[in-house]
Amino acid sequence: MQKLSIVIPAYNERATVEALLRRVAAAPIPGGLEREILIVDDGSGDGTGELLKELEQTGDPAFRLVEHPHNRGKGAALRTGFEQVTGDVVLVQDADLEYDPRDYPTLLQPILDGEADVVYGSRFLGGPHRVLFFWHYVGNRFLTTLSNMFTDLNLSDMETCYKVFRAEVLRGMTLCSDRFGIEPELTAKVAKTRARIYEVPISYHGRTYAEGKKIGWRDGFAAIWAILRYNLLS
């Protein structure tokens, strides 16, 4: 039986992480896959780590917890998670409630059918989504277009959280990013492997800054640098 490893980076998500874990544990998994859930607490200061320790002890839901003593960023948390997983397929899941685990069958099917090595879940292919920030949309499309110009891919959503990999694809890459630059880095390095990449539509329930959204304009400039760095300098 193949195993699906779900990697969840978490930073200051006490308000959502328990509900998210329960959704991940209950999400439909096609093809009889065994499920492994690994969450990396990235030095949270709001009690996320303490809550996760309590939940881990109860085993309801079942997951493994890895802790960073200090906040290092989403990329560092993902790199830690990728090193720890044991599955044949690896799926990235944010710890907020913006991305819905009920989309797992759609995300996994191209890999299970033997058609893809990597699958991106796109927020811009017609799935239901909460209507929010116009300039975030513009920024996402700009970054995706810039990335596509260097990778020669035709992705619609490079910055999406939902990325699924055959484990051997991840094992063949050396990742460096600590923060949100992990998204363009993953895309640049996947493109260089010549892996078969699919995109599928997903639902998206974006949140406002008052609700806990963290990414800002500085991360956009950092993403531009990451696109240039990982496509031209590495």
Residue reference for tokens 């995706």: 144
C-alpha–C-alpha distance, residues 202 and 105, integer Å: 11
Q: Could you read off the pLDDT of 26-70 as tens digits, one per residue? A: 999 987 899 999 999 999 999 999 999 999 999 989 999 999 999
With pLDDT > 90 as the criterion, what percentage of the chain qualifies? Answer: 77
Q: Could you read off the pLDDT of 62-92 as tens digits, one per residue? A: 999 999 999 999 999 999 999 999 999 999 9
Give φ, ψ of 157 to 5 degrees: -155, 80
> Do 96 and 212 contact (CB within 8 A), yes or no?
yes
Q: What is the pLDDT of residue 135?
A: 64
Q: What is the pLDDT of residue 31?
A: 77
Q: What is the pLDDT of residue 215?
A: 64
Q: Is the pLDDT of residue 103 over 70?
A: yes
Question: What CA dihedral angle connects 120, 167, 181 and 106, to 10 degrees?
Answer: 20
- What's the average model confidence in pLDDT over 167-179? 94
Q: Is the pLDDT of residue 219 over 80?
A: no
Q: How many domains does the chain have?
A: 1
Q: What is the pLDDT of residue 49?
A: 96
The more confident residue out of 104 and 131 is: 104
Give φ, ψ of 150 to 5 degrees: -90, -35
Q: Is the pLDDT of residue 230 over 60?
A: yes
Residue range of the domain that includes 74: 3-232
> Do 182 and 190 contact (CB within 8 A), yes or no?
no
C-alpha–C-alpha distance, residues 141 and 19, integer Å: 30
Q: What is the pLDDT of residue 170?
A: 95
With vertex at residue 86, the alpha carbon angle to CA 47 and CA 177, rounded to the nearest 5 degrees, is: 60
Q: Which of 20, 64, 47 is nearest to 161 (CA)?
A: 20
Give φ, ψ of 165 to 5 degrees: -135, 140
CATH code: domain of residue 33: 3.90.550.10
- What's the average model confidence in pLDDT over 127-132? 57
Place 209 in a pLDDT band, splitting at 50, 70 and 90.
very low
Range with lowest mean pLDDT among 11-20, 160-169, 200-209:
200-209
Q: What is the pLDDT of residue 125?
A: 85
> Beta strand pairing status for 89-92 and 64-68?
unpaired
Q: What is the pLDDT of residue 136?
A: 73
Place 171 in a pLDDT band, splitting at 50, 70 and 90.
very high
